[in-house]
Structure 1
Amino acid sequence: MADIYDPDFVKGVFDRCSDRYITFSLICSFGFTERWRRQCVAAMPALGTGARGYDLMAGTGEVWPHLLKRFADIAAITAVDISSGMHRRALARLHTHRAHRIDFIEDDVLASDLPAESADFVISTFGLKTFNPEQHARLAALIARVLKPGGVFSMIEASDPKGWWLRPLYRLHLKVVLPLIERIFLRGAQDFAMIGTYSTNFGSAAGIAAMLREQGLEVKYVKYFFGCATGVAGRKIGSAP
């Protein structure tokens, strides 16, 4: 059986999904993914003028308009993603007029050689689910390393809303409805259905919140819409030089 967290496997899934990912995620989440991206940006602590930072597991870059709307004077966003297809889709579909402020690194985030203390901010929307717990620990260490003292972060991910009375219906949507939509309308190779599998396996952002705290970061854990999404936001302790 394939390791669904192997970087080559993840790249293949999202390269094949890239052309229809934006529409699929928006419709099948009933618009909540867009709302949650806005909330993820709103949860990020304030940035100074001319900030530079990373969008990790950047995908199609759908968070960039929200980020640049709140922080209009951001100097640069470096998008890091393993899928070349997703980035091509981002620039062609959404962000050509922002390209002068957006750089791209096509790489496995955990294998990328991002410089220490090189970022005023780190953001990530809906990329955490593609990592297992051991990879989350490595990601937490990377975020702590690349943030400057006083640097901030915010991340969000679709989650398993344990304790919510509508949880069985939500899980049915992920495990049955999404694969059915793919088979009937998208004729895919079960790639979009993998998004549901990743989300169910992920659980919540509570685990990575604890890992970020272990790295010495200040962390706030947040639930969105009864726990259907969860997130973390905070900062690296210290003042920028």
Structure 2
Amino acid sequence: MSEDIYDPQFVKGVFDRCSSQYITFSWICSFGFTERWRRQCVKSMPAPTGPDPEGYDLMAGTGEVWPHLLKRFPDIGAITAVDISSGMHHRAMERLHAHRAHKIAFVEDDVLASDLPKESADFIISTFGLKTFNGKQHAKLAKLTARCLKPGGVFCMIEASDPKGWWLRPLYLFHLKVMLPLIERVLLRGAQDFARIGTYSTNFGDASAFAEMLRAEGLDVEFKRFFFGCATAVAGRKPAAFARP
């Protein structure tokens, strides 16, 4: 039987094993673009309204978006990081964000199975977590986003994407499908988990289908492309006078 790479426990295993070297490997293998795209994700998110806004970082990983989020919105009251991988969160708090711990709580859970309260978030952000879901799971995530946002709440989610139509797309895909596994075999002694992340990325396509799912849930959504479509994002707001579609 073939393995289900979208099974939550499979995803957890991949990222638990990746966690100790994830930050360095992802930065080097993306030529620093992942960090640039995190900044652009935060910049693309509409400003939360109200004092001391609180929200979620879904599929939070190592929390590398938190410095950008707190720099742009220093009045944020709290961030709840939700991720299935305890290894990724421990890495975040040990290396990057211990001095921000008073503003950050962690929920170790499958996001789609979590019991996040209805209308509890002024904002929702996610960077590079969408690829770990298939289409049915994306539909569940769209429903969760609409349910958890307060009326007037804002969101932005970004993911590495397939730049269809770009003349350098074959080189980009060669980098994901050939070079990343090769680098991993040479530098990480045969590990396969980072190569699996490349598989998730190429399977994902782009965020346009997810944008339509969010619109179907009644959210105002803008679809964004970065660097010829090598990353795509969805950003928007839950209408203040929200009615379920």
Aligned positions of 1:93-104 closer than 5 A: 93-104=95-106
Superposition CA RMSD, Å: 0.9
Name segments (4+ residues, structure 1) moved above 3 Å.
Answer: none
Partner of 1:81: 83
Matched positions, count:
240
Candidates 150, 172, 181, aligned match of 1:170:
172
Moved more, 6-15 or 40-49: 40-49
What is the percent sequence identity of the aligned residues? Answer: 77
Partner of 1:16: 17
Aligned positions of 1:179-190 closer than 5 A: 179-190=181-192
Aligned positions of 1:130-149 closer than 5 A: 130-149=132-151
Partner of 1:91: 93
Aligned positions of 1:55-66 closer than 5 A: 55-66=57-68
The amino acid of 1:52's aligned partner reads: E
- 1:34 Cα deviation after fit: 0.2
Q: TM-score, normalised by structure 1?
A: 0.98
Partner of 2:204: 202
Q: Does 1:108 align with 2:110?
A: yes
Deviations 1:29-49 (A, max 9, x none): 000000000000000001232
The amino acid of 1:101's aligned partner reads: K
Q: Secondary structure at the match of 2:19?
A: helix
Partner of 2:219: 217
Deviations 1:159-194 (A, max 9, x none): 000000000000000000000000000124300001
The amino acid of 1:44's aligned partner reads: M
Moved more, 184-193 or 20-29: 184-193
CA distance in 2, matches of 1:74, 1:147: 15
Moved more, 24-33 or 181-190: 181-190
The amino acid of 1:54's aligned partner reads: Y
The amino acid of 1:123's aligned partner reads: I
Q: Secondary structure at the match of 1:238?
A: coil
CA distance in 1, matches of 2:124, 2:4: 27
Candidates 224, 234, 240, aligned match of 1:232:
234
Partner of 2:29: 28
The amino acid of 1:39's aligned partner reads: Q
Candidates 167, 185, 191, aligned match of 2:193:
191
Partner of 2:42: 41
The amino acid of 2:31's aligned partner reads: F
Q: Does 1:121 align with 2:126?
A: no
Deviations 1:174-218 (A, max 9, x none): 000000000000124300001110000000000100000000000
